[in-house]
Homo-oligomer: A and B are copies of this chain.
Amino acid sequence: MKVIRYPERNSWQELIQRPELELSDLETQVEEIIERVSREGDQAVLEYTRRFDGVELNSLEVSKEEIRASSSRVDRSLKDAIDEAHGNIRAFHSSQIQSSKPVETGKGITCWQKLVPVQGVGLYIPGGSAPLFSTVLMLGVPAKLAGCPSVVLCTPPDSEGNIPPSILYVARLLGLDRVFRVGGAQAIAALACGTETIPRVDKIFGPGNQYVTMAKQVVSRDRVAIDMPAGPSELAVLADEGSDPAYVASDLLSQAEHGPDSQVILVTGAEELIHQVEAQLDIQLAGLPRKDVATRALKQSRAILLKDEREMVDFINLYAPEHLSIVTRNYHRLSEQILHAGSVFLGPYTPESAGDYASGTNHTLPTNGWARVYSGVNMDSFYKKITFQEISREGLAGLGKTIMSMAEAEELIAHSNAVAIRLKPPGDE
């Protein structure tokens, strides 16, 4: 880690920079994929799958039978773990379900909101060395709790055209409607445009590589909504001289192993702790299968030594990390001052990996400073709110003058007439 001692405030902006994602080169390429999928449907999807995944598919959709059979290919112990995580995620997300009651804003004027679940939801689960079934839980549980009537999943096939059994197992556990063996920009294009086989959805959720990220960005301009802008994962740890350096190092490493572009930042007022954490990083790194990835991520990560709590809190709020771990002695008090973070982990026994998998909170969170203004995925992500209003004749008689006066001041006379015509005495036409 690069150690930065007592940086001046005017240099902080530079310290919070994320690695630049150079996506603009991809834009033309991805736009072409979207254009072809929108025009040629399944045929284009199959061809891109041949080209990018190196597999000739017989069918885009995973059969019910294949999904059912997945259960026997997942270990009992993993199923038990998934069940417990499922229960916790469900409990936390259920607690977020809102209701809305009519409000009489004035006599005879009733207004209310109606929560309507997003009708077509598309989940994207990336491929890669290991199956990210935990993301199926994180996106599928709230989608089903919200009552979204169609929830489909796209994930890339392996070279044999297969999907990992753990992903199919979770899809079945949650009752997702359909699963398609399609990945990359072509999957996002299919969900946004619809093909003969893959239904067009209203909102696309889920992480992915730079092609997927770019494709989500492009289709969100004019076709569908997306969960949030995506970037490499991040963790900031706020620690003091009482923090356990072994625990801190283990959290930094669990972030660093995600990818070489993962962002890891240690913020503290205790210089000695930085050295202890560095020593622990060396010890713990040695045994990791993803040692190379973590080492590369740590190379561009930073330990920042600051002079007091005020500076530490201000720095974190400027950085707006996706994950924030607070392991100082006074973590409760510090946590109250946090304004910008995706998800916050408090105290010595709350590793970030708990929230990644099983405590109940969602792990789909805003990166790249977007925590300043976006929330992570939560129940709100799967609803929209329609406003309704009903006014009685008496209600309009009471409110009419106000509406007309304002409409006239904005020179919108038809707006005023729509009230006047309703308040005319009967027969006065």
Contacts and interface: CB of A to CB of B under 8 A. Distances in A.
A374 interface: yes
Assembly of this chain: how many copies?
A: 2
A100 to B, nearest CB: 8
B396 A354 contact: yes
A214 to B, nearest CB: 11
Contact of A417 (B254, B371, B410): B254
Q: How large is the interface on A (under 10, 10 to 19, 20 to 34, 35 or more residues)?
A: 35 or more
A358 B386 CA distance: 17
Interface of A: 77-78, 80-82, 84-85, 87-88, 91-92, 95-96, 98, 100-101, 103, 105-106, 109, 111, 113, 116, 118-119, 129-134, 166, 202-203, 217, 221-222, 224-225, 229, 246-247, 250-251, 253-254, 256-258, 284, 287-290, 294, 335, 338-362, 370-376, 378, 380, 384-393, 395-396, 399, 401-403, 405-407, 409-419, 421-422, 429
Contacts of A221: 217, 229
Contacts of A418: 247, 250-251, 253-254, 351-353
Given A103-B91, A131-B410, A353-B407, A339 B116 contact: yes
Given A284-B417, A422-B349, A406 B373 contact: no
B421 A343 contact: no
A221 B406 CA distance: 36
Given A98-B98, A131-B410, A378-B385, 4 more contacts: A111-B360, A130-B410, A166-B409, A340-B386
Given A111-B92, A349-B422, A376-B387, A415 B254 contact: yes
A352 to B, nearest CB: 7
A169 B136 CA distance: 51
